[in-house]
Chains A and B, each alone.
Chain A
């Protein structure tokens, strides 16, 4: 995401000069809300709360701007949850929010669970919890009926005072466990409702410190449940969540080696001299490597960019007993004495991802600055001076923030290794057809349902190249389109080397007169160039015909990134309907649309 020069500098200067105080934040927010910086992504946020939330505004706006967002908050009147959420003509809905935050405190929803807890019987506790669950579920459900906005719902912080004091753990039903049960209900609620996520308020308060959280004067004077510092923390976290909702996480972490994955310089100290082990200071780096592995588990690809000798490096990854990371954990390595910006570009190309999907962790401030100036679209993680802080800086950077982890994420590195094997295979085959046939591809195509919805929405959100219309439908939009009678298909491709996962999406919507418009058609770049799109298109055509459709209307919306799809319709026998070649038509007639014969197609029933 390249930002224009002067204005982004002004914003950067403003943000750099801010002290974490109310005065500077309020002043900065005023400038941002006056629209002085125009390269930010606008997002309208409605906030419903059982308390006075308005004080969050300046912190939310400024922290949003620091993450390239122009947050436009609309605070609903105090304690009007249902009135604002369920009434389509309310001020909340008039503000057309993109995101709705629902912030309720347990103190307000079920005061007895917080105040007189010890006096409650087990049955009364259950009843109170059930009442909270029912009220919240009805609120979210009702909200979802009126708006397609993404919903972010607060869970509950521990009470400031445990009613039983030290004896809480000894109670048959402890107050702590009750709050946890309430939070489990919130988590379950969001699973049932598309486009809904939990704002882990409980965790945020715990990490900050419950004792420091409240300013009792504000609580009693204005029903404001956080002091000045906590207001900043909530604003920052809301901005962080918002960013995670609107932008995909970085796909690949590029790591430096010396003084990053181990202490010392490998070329100087040698295999036995670098600090990496169970004793201090090696344990710091070993733990950092474990943190890196956690990211890999979450679905982040790992790469190396280091000024070193390849043979030396391989020795560490293959032979050092305390090196937790191994060669197989990385999908790309650029180990040479050239500059890091070139390494980053090479890595991006090798993995078929944009450079704006890269995040870099390098202990050298000089290298970080170099990358920042050469490639402003790369996320350069802020690295503290002391290595003890590396793991936290990495995991807390925000570069990999994701509000959901899909089954694809869990095996992503494995998938990329298989991709590479296929690349090698291409060199040895005689002809393209022989190569494609030798892959023994099987395309499994099914109708999008609850289990496949997240991955489908993910593909719609992040696929740029083989995407004919680049429509960024949310999970909720998709649900609506399906319920309205549209056809939404996913395609999974397996071949000799393994499972590529779900890599294709096709959506067609009836125009009413026998014509079905192709709202979306895309392929993940890892399967482009193999003809699998023919399998998806052919299956879509058959299903449309089975529903009584006479023709497929193809749409092409050109973008700077999708020129690879320019001739897609032409290549599949569509005829253009306009001069600009944006609308195309395929008569479904008597014959079936041909599917490449080297792909076996299975329908998922």
Chain B
């Protein structure tokens, strides 16, 4: 069960942006991923919502500007692997 949420987030990032899974870290952001444009950001939000069966509000959606932030925001919703969420 360990790291399941982190893995699922990384899997979504990999699918939406076309980045190899093992190249993803919490630092990944629009600065490091060229395909992370505004259109794909919307796809990312929709993909996370489908993956975790949640509904994100506009402020959460606009704040998700790195993988670390995504993990933090989801952790605030109770979606986490346990232990400390990683703020950025």
Contact = CB atoms under 8 A, between A and B. Distances in A.
B15 A55 contact: no
Interface in A162-204: none
Contact of B16 (A23, A218, A224): A23
B42 A221 contact: yes
Interface stretch (A1-9, A24-32, A337-345): A24-32
Given A22-B16, A26-B15, A228-B49, A217 B43 contact: no
Contacts of B50: 21-23, 228
Interface string B15-49: 11010000000000000000000010011001101
B47 A23 contact: yes
A22 B47 CA distance: 5
A356 interface: no
Contacts of A222: 42
Interface in B29-84: 39, 42-43, 46-47, 49-51, 58, 61
B15 A228 contact: no
A interface, by DSSP: helix, strand, loop or mixed? helix
A122 to B, nearest CB: 41
Most buried by A among B39, B43, B46: B46
B51 A23 contact: yes
Size range of the interface on A?
10 to 19
B9 to A, nearest CB: 11
Interface in A52-67: 54-55
B43 A26 contact: yes
B46 A228 contact: yes
27 contacts: A21-B47, A21-B50, A21-B51, A22-B16, A22-B43, A22-B50, A23-B11, A23-B12, A23-B15, A23-B16, A23-B47, A23-B50, A24-B15, A26-B15, A27-B14, A27-B15, A27-B16, A27-B18, A30-B18, A55-B42, A215-B46, A217-B58, A217-B61, A224-B42, A227-B46, A228-B49, A228-B50
Contacts of A27: 14-16, 18
Interface of B: 11-12, 14-16, 18, 39, 42-43, 46-47, 49-51, 58, 61
Nearest to A220: B58
Interface of A: 21-24, 26-27, 30, 54-55, 215, 217-218, 221-222, 224, 227-228
A439 B49 CA distance: 69
Given A21-B47, A217-B61, A26 B16 contact: yes
A215 B14 CA distance: 24
Nearest to A222: B42
B83 to A, nearest CB: 25
Contacts of B11: 23
A21 B43 CA distance: 10
Contacts of B42: 55, 218, 221-222, 224
Contact of B43 (A55, A221, A227): A55
